[in-house]
Structure formats: C-alpha cells, structure tokens
Structure 1
Amino acid sequence: MINTIKCPYCQKEIELSEALTDQIREEQKQEIEKNFEQKLREKILAEQELKIKDKENEAEELKKRNRELGNQLLELNKSLRLLREKDEERELKSQKQIFDEIEKAKENLAQKINEENRLKNLEKDKQIADLKKVAEELKRKAEQGSEQAQGEILELDLENSLRNVFPQDEILEVKKGVRGADLVQLVKTPMGNIAGKIIWENKRTKNWENKWIDKLRSDQRVEKARFAGLVSMVLPKDAPKEIIPINKVWVTTPKYFIALATFLRNILLEGAKQKAISAQSASTAEELYEYLNSHEFTQQMEAIAESYFGMQEQIIKEKVAFETQWKRREVQLNKMFKSLFNIYGGITGIAGPNFPQIKGLEMLEESKNDKDKLI
C-alpha cells in the first residue's frame, strides 16, 4: 500500500515509504498525542480555570452575598441597636416617669405628712393652751376654793373660840350668801340680859383691801351693833401693831382675836351696868352717861386698851425665851388690867351711895379668868 500525503503548500500528493510512513505516523501520533496532551492540558487548565473562575465567581458571589449579608447584618444590627436604643429610651422614659411619679408621690406624701404634723402641732399647741387655761382656771378656782375653805375654817375657829371663852354669850352665824358679817356676838350679863352686840368679819386672803372697812361699817349700821371687829391674816402695811382701830372698826389678827373680844365685851358689860344704875337715878345716870360718852373716858379706855394689848403682844412674843420677864410683865399687865376697874371706882364715886355695890374682887376675878383662858 502506497501512502501519499498532500503537500500543504503545492497540494501535490507525495508517495511515502512504509518506514517513512511509520515515522510520519509515529510523528503524527506523537504530534497527535502531543496535541491531545496539549489540548487535554489546555482543557484541564481551561476546566481548572473555569473551576477556578467558578470558584472565584462563587467566591465573589459569596463575597458579594457576604457583603450583602454583612450589610444586611449591619442594617439589622443598626435596626436592633435603634430598637434597643428606642427600648432603652422608652425604658428610660418609663423609668424617669416612674421615678418622677415616685418623687411626686414622695413630695405629696411629705407635704401631707408636713401638713398633718403642722395640724397636729397646731392641735397639740391648742390642747396645751387649752390645758394651760384649764390648769390656770383650776388653780384659780382651787385658790379661791382654798381661800374660801380657809376662811370658813377660820370663821368656824372664831365661832368656837367665842363659844368656849364666853359660854354665856349668844353667838350667831350668818348664813352663806346672806349679806352681813360672818358672826354676831350678843354679849350677855351674868343675869342673862343682853349688854350689847359685836359683829365679826374674818378675812383669810393674801392682800389687804380697804373696802372691807366700809363694808363692815355698813353691816354694823344694819345690825345696830355697838362694835365691829375684823379678823384678818394680813393688816395694812402701815399698821403699827396687831390691834388697831380703823374708822371705828377694830382690826386684829387671829392671834389677838380673843383679847380684842374680851376688851370690847367688858366695855359693853360696863355700859350695861351703868345703864342699870341710871334706872335708879336719872341725874346720876345722865352724869354717868355724859362721862361714858366724854372724850376723857374714850381716851382713858383707848390708852388702857393700847397698853394692855401692847403689853400682851410683847408677852406672847417673849414668853418662851424670857419666862422670868414674862412673869414680871404679867404682873404689870394684871395691874394695868385692874386700872380698868379703877375707872369703875371713879364712876361709883360719882354715882354716890346709891350706886349698886359690887364685890371688889368679883369682876376682877372674872376678868382674870377670861385673861387666863386667852393666855
């Protein structure tokens, strides 16, 4: 078999020998193989490149998708952040609102508490003020009640003292609420006849009041009493001693009450005796009446009373510390007391033999007994 090949340039067919053909064939085979390998390589490379390209495209696509996903994630994160911010803002607003409401509630509660405390303080202050007023009123009433009770006790003491010392006299108590003095003493003679009337008023207060004198003078006129006596725990500041006459009212303290009562009572008894004498002799009675109402008689009686009460006061003050002097002055007091009856002797001298004879020591002894009871 003759193999021919066509020249690629002249297009003439050229006969080839077997060896050459084999060689050519081998070369063609090698060429073909080479081309095949080349093509295969190229194909593989192309496929690899394609795969790489695909991978690259895929990677790019992934990158793109990743970028998109990243962007979406960013947007999502942004949205989430915005949502969180909004939530936080709402939460903050809510918390702020709650806080504001709590603060407002606290403020309202504080105002309410302050107002309640203010009202309570006002109420407490009012209660304290009311209690102070009540306490002051109770204190005032208690003091008034105490003064009234003490006055009643003093009055009862005066009444009992008069009844004990002068059992023959009639002691009348003026009822509470009735205008007048506290006590009325009807002085009676040994025969039981009324010699005269003495009214007594007691005062147990802290301060002296001059209006007591005017009131007692008015009571004296109403009772038609010969004497009016005021027994007070306090005397006027300018009082020289504890028994003083003020506007024809005899004023003393409870300590000298019986002494003053004895003195005034003896005057009434003397007057009653002189009145009995006057019944026997009109002229003598007139002379005696003039003497009893004379300035001289009044001065003598006041002088004796002043000396008597002054000495008695001194004796009472010095009795404990100066027993010896007390005894000596008591003798002087007795002598002075007897001088009261010397006046009676003078009256008897004026009256003459018709004057009723009185046992000399009888009246003195009676007066002495009264004085002993006082001491």
Structure 2
Amino acid sequence: MKSTIKCPGCGIEINVEEVIAQEIESKLTSEYKKKSAQQSAIILKEKEKLEKEKEEFEKKKAKENELFLEKLEKVKKEEAEKIKKKFEEEKIKLEKDAKEEYELKIKQLEEDNEKRKNENKLLKQRELELLRKETELKEKQEQIKEETEKQFLEQREKLAADVKKREEEKHLLRVKEYEKQLEDQKKLIDEMKRKAEQGSMQMQGEVLELVLEDALKAEFPFDKINEVAKGAKGADVIQTVYNKLQQECGKIIYESKRTKTFSDGWIDKLKEDMRAEGATVAILVSETLPKNHDKPFFRNGVWVCDFNSVIFLANIFRDSIVREFAIKSMQENKTELKDLMYEYLTSNEFAHKIEAIVEGFTAMKSDIEKEKNAMNKLWKEREKQIEKVISNTIDMYGSIKGIGGKAIQTVKSLELGSGDE
C-alpha cells in the first residue's frame, strides 16, 4: 500500500515514501563520503530535522499519516542501523589497517635498530683494531730501537779494527781542519754579533730555551739538565746523562733557535761548543728548518730538528750513550772507544738509520691519525642517520595515534617526554 499525501497548495498527490527514501538515500550517499568521525553528528542532525518535520506534518494530517509515520519510523530505524553498522565496519577496518601499518613500521624500526647495532659492533671492532695497530707501532718502535743499538754495537766492533790506522792518517788533516774551522767560526761569531736581533726576537729565543729545558727535565728526570747562563759562551742547554748507578755516561748539548730564517753558521758554532764541552752529541733545535728539509737531518757533525722531534732524538742518543758507557767501562782504552762512538754517531750511516726511523715513525703516526679521522666522520654520519630514523618514527607514531586513538597501544619510548625519565 502506497502512502501519499495531497499538497494543500497545488493539489498534487505526493508519494511520501518515495520522496523520503530518495532524500534519505541522497543524504546517506553524501554523508558516507565524509570522515567517519563526522557521520554520527550528521545522523543526529538529520534525525532532529525529521522529527521536526514529523511534528509539523502530524499537526496537519495526524489521522491520515498514522501509517506513514509508522513506516517512516521503521525506515529511519533501519537506515540508522545500516549506517551504524557500516560505520562500525569502516572503523574496524581503519583500525586494523592502522594497526598493521604501525606494526610494520615498528618491525622496520627494529630491523633498522638491529642493523645499527651490527654497524656499531663493526665500528667497535675497527676501534679495537686501531688500538692494536697503536700497540704494534709502539712495539715496532722498540724493535727499531733495539735493532739500532745492535747495529751500533756491530759497527763499533767493525770500526775498532781500523781505528788506529785511520786515526793516524786523519790526525794531521783533522788538526788543520779544526784550525780552519776555528778561524771561520770566529769570523762568523763576529758577523752574528753585528747582526744579532734585539728586543722581542731575543725574548722569543729565551722562551724556547725554557720550554726545551722543561721538556728535557720532564722526559729525563734522572739526568742533569743545565741551562747555560745568558751571555756565557756555549750551547743553550747541557744534558749530562747518568745510568741507573748514577754514573756519568756522557753529555748531549742543545742549541735552540726561533727565527724566520735558518743559518748554516749555527751548525758550525754548535759543533765547536760540543768539542769545548766534551759532549758526545749536539742537537740544534730550530723553529725554521732549511728548504727541502721537513724532518731531522745530520750535517757536519750536528743533528738538526724541530721542537716536535727533539725528545724522540734525545731518547735514541741517550740510550746509545748509556750502552756505550757500559761497554767502554769494560775496556782499557777509553779514548779509543770514545772516538769510535763519536765517529759512528757522526757518520752518514748512523744519520741515514736515524732518518729511516723518523720516517717510519712519522708515516705510521700519520696513518693512525687518518684512520681516526675517518672513523670519527663515519660515527657522526651514523648518529645523524639514527636521529633521522627516530624522528620519522615518532612522527609516524603520532599520526597513527591521532587516527586510532586508544585502540593503538602506547609505546613509552616514543611518547613525548619519555627521554627525560
């Protein structure tokens, strides 16, 4: 049975069921496309509108529309149930999809975290490898040191057989050479006195002398480190070497220079000071090295180096002096052994060996520094990647939490403020 009403104005009969059904269907189709969160409010609003229309309609045609109202209520109830059911299904599906996506992201995060742990493990292994290399470097230095001492002893024995013959041949030439060097040295000293810098340059030189003296005292606490008085003739610092029995074994003299240019005259002067002092080794420490020299070198009986290398050289020469003294004390001819030691320490062979040691040490140290810098750079890049992953995960978690609400389980480590606990 169709429910119709007649329009009071135009007299046209209207199929109420069809009109209401079309209106409800149109509204439901429009409202279904909107967000799920708004559907309940729209249904309530539609219900209120229909209630108002029903009241107005009942006032005019109460008797005629009793059946219509019953059917209308039934239709509204059925449609409301359908909408509610559809809404619940969509909500369940949305929550399920959100949960699956969240679990997938969490799984990916855990996999990334495991990957980072493995990478950190590799980095830790690399760090241990660097420490191992440093240990090997120290052992290599000790080995080189022992080999140098061994070669020195072998060379001393080899030279001992020829020393008398060679000394007799060289004696006359050496005397003349010394006389010529003394004359040249006097001229050089006079020239240097005329050109000596005053004021700040002198102060800078004194500061370098103090730093050198302090460094030697710290490195060799059992030796006597004496600073030559200002204005006195001779080297800047004299190191008297003592063995474990507090026996004087020999001397190393040092001259420090802090100028913008290097002078070859310094070498001749220090060599003369070495002879006057009776020292075994002379080391010239200069802030500026000659052109084409960036590491310690041996010239005319004197070792030349910068401040960074002086302690390294001092250790090598000191050990050689102590060992030679031990050998010399067991020999009768002390003068001959001293000359042998001096000749060997001033020979090109010994100079080349020391240069090889310094080059090997410098190269190994440079390699370790490069590896350390590379590892530090890699660690910083990994930290940035981890921070980026954590930030993106927190953003994703917040978005999912906003959609699913309490249906999404709480992850404490991703909640705001958890880092302060």
Same fold (TM over 0.5): no
The TM-score normalised by the length of structure 2 is 0.38
The TM-score normalised by the length of structure 1 is 0.43
Larger Rg: 1
